[in-house]
Amino acid sequence: MTRFGRFELIQRLAVGGMGEVFLARDGGAGEPLVLKRILPHLAGNTEFLDLFLEEARIQARLNHPNVVRIVELGDVDGAWYLLMERVEGVDLRKLMRGPLQLGLACRIAADVAAGLSAAHAAVDAQGRSLQVVHADVSPHNVLVSFGGEVKLFDFGVAKAAGRFARDDEALRGKFPYMSPEQAAGERLDSRSDLFALGVVLWELITGKRLFEGRSDLDTMNRVLACQVESPGGPVADAVLRALQKQPAKRFGTVAEFAAELLPHAASQQDLAVRVGGLQRPGGSSLDFSRDERKPSAVPSLPPFTLSPSKGEHAQRSVLLPYEALALTQLRALPAGFSLEAAEATIEVTLEFPDAPWALDIVQALRDKGHLRSWDHEGELRFSA
């Protein structure tokens, strides 16, 4: 067990573009919390440090049940960290393996909207609006606890007025959940978050991806075109209004959008029942992370790098043994063990993720039906 200042780092949960996330215990006692620490090689980078501190300052002002609570901001020998409450549950991606019951989808979207409303209304010490835009409302930033609580987190790409340049606005956030104005590099306001929430709800209802293409460029072009089919059902008009290409044609606030969803929303208890079904056998819980702990029957596969320097043919062939090993491990699971809880993960670094050979690999695996997801961050998930 590693120490970081007064904290015991129990387990590394995830690594993002600018920070590591750990399950930690303060002073070796008490309930575990979640600690986000800026990556060591970025500690001297003023832009990244400002981004990290901006997340802390914004989120610390948001005392709302639908926003992950900040416990502490500090540094250990120049290494900045953010200490947050631990949410025992799953991120929203775990509930997106097919259409979700409408009531549950509306419950989740309405609760995210409540958290966003609090962020959009945030003010500084002088009572002036911070004009916060989350700018990364996407499934991996929404946590659902086993008690049915919905919490928004990771304001690391949030934008207070005038803080970031236009190029930064266009690149931060996840491409499939960008608004057209974000993809175009235009100035953002709260209606950009409204659009992103509309994308999430559309996908929850339909079980499909709305804008995801074969590459980031393809995805951005689809976002800019903004061709949206009706998701069907009683909230279709509200979803389509949230997904209007022109911000002026959307709802004025996320609260107005939520008001259209609440009459159709299930209860928190109903959501708890659905999420509770994702717990592992034996009652152990999941902490939010990109890479969940694997059972002993499914050992982690070693990471590797795909680079065009080895040649296109070699790149295709090197992935095949990993695919076969992943499927073999999954099929060897004990009888009755949930495949959803035991998916094998291969972490892959693509030096040029938009290169034709890389896209061919991903598409070939999709066509074979073995690739569960590909998140453009170097993570492939296989299923039997």
The C-alpha atoms of residue 303 and residue 264 are separated, in whole angstroms, by 44
- Over residues 76-98, the mean pLDDT reads 89
**Tokens representing residue 76 in the block:** 């250990």
The C-alpha atoms of residue 319 and residue 288 are separated, in whole angstroms, by 28
- Please check whether residue 113 lies inside any domain of the structure: yes
Quote the Cα angle for 22-28-30, to 5°: 90
Q: Does residue 222 have a pLDDT over 90?
A: yes
The C-alpha atoms of residue 215 and residue 250 are separated, in whole angstroms, by 27
Residue 299, φ and ψ in degrees, nearest 5 = -65, 150
Known catalytic residue: 136?
yes
In this structure, are 46 and 132 located in the same domain? no
Identify the pLDDT of residue 21.
87
362: confidence class by pLDDT, cuts 50, 70, 90: low
Indicate the number of domains in the chain: 3
- Please check whether residue 294 lies inside any domain of the structure: no
DSSP secondary-structure letter at 276?
H
The C-alpha atoms of residue 277 and residue 128 are separated, in whole angstroms, by 44
Three-class DSSP category at 275 = helix
In this structure, are 131 and 269 located in the same domain? yes
CA 119 to chain centre: 18
Mean pLDDT of the chain: 75
In this structure, are 272 and 164 located in the same domain? yes
DSSP string, 124-166: -TTS-B---B----SGGGEEEETTS-EEE---TT-B-TTSS-H
The C-alpha atoms of residue 164 and residue 384 are separated, in whole angstroms, by 43
Residue 14, φ and ψ in degrees, nearest 5 = -165, 160
Query: 26, 51, 84: which is the final residue of a domain?
Result: 84
Identify the pLDDT of residue 217.
85
Could you read off the pLDDT of 277-322 as tens digits, one per residue? 776 433 333 333 333 333 333 334 444 444 444 444 444 444 554 4
Distances in Å between the Cα of 227 and the Cα atoms of 109, 161, 206 are: 21, 29, 15
168: confidence class by pLDDT, cuts 50, 70, 90: very low
In this structure, are 34 and 53 located in the same domain? yes
Percent of the chain past pLDDT 90, that is, above it, reads 39
Query: 68, 84, 100: which is the final residue of a domain?
Result: 84
Q: Does residue 266 have a pLDDT over 90?
A: yes
Quote the Cα angle for 225-139-265, to 5°: 95
Q: Does residue 212 have a pLDDT over 80?
A: yes
Q: 79-84 and 70-76 as β-strands: parallel, antiparallel, unpaired? A: antiparallel
The C-alpha atoms of residue 278 and residue 146 are separated, in whole angstroms, by 9
Query: 69, 84, 99: which is the final residue of a domain?
Result: 84
- Do residues 34 and 287 lie in contact, with contact meaning Cβ atoms separated by under 8 Å? yes
Strands ordered across the beta sheet of 371-374: 304-306, 344-350, 379-382, 371-374
Decide which of 260 and 378 is more confident: 260
Element holding 349 (H helix, E strand): strand 344-350
In this structure, are 240 and 152 located in the same domain? yes
215: confidence class by pLDDT, cuts 50, 70, 90: confident
- Please check whether residue 222 lies inside any domain of the structure: yes
The C-alpha atoms of residue 187 and residue 58 are separated, in whole angstroms, by 19
Catalytic pick among 50, 75, 77, 136: 136
Identify the pLDDT of residue 18.
66
**Tokens representing residue 182 in the block:** 């974000």
The C-alpha atoms of residue 112 and residue 101 are separated, in whole angstroms, by 17
What is the CATH number for 22? Answer: 3.30.200.20
Domain encompassing residue 51: 2-84
In this structure, are 109 and 25 located in the same domain? no
What is the CATH number for 159? Answer: 1.10.510.10
**Tokens representing residue 291 in the block:** 């890479």
Q: Which residue has the tokens 């928004």?
A: 152
Q: Which residue has the tokens 């089919």?
A: 229
Minimum mean pLDDT range among 35-39, 90-94, 268-272, 322-326: 322-326
* Angle, helices 102-120/190-206, rounded to nearest 10 degrees: 170
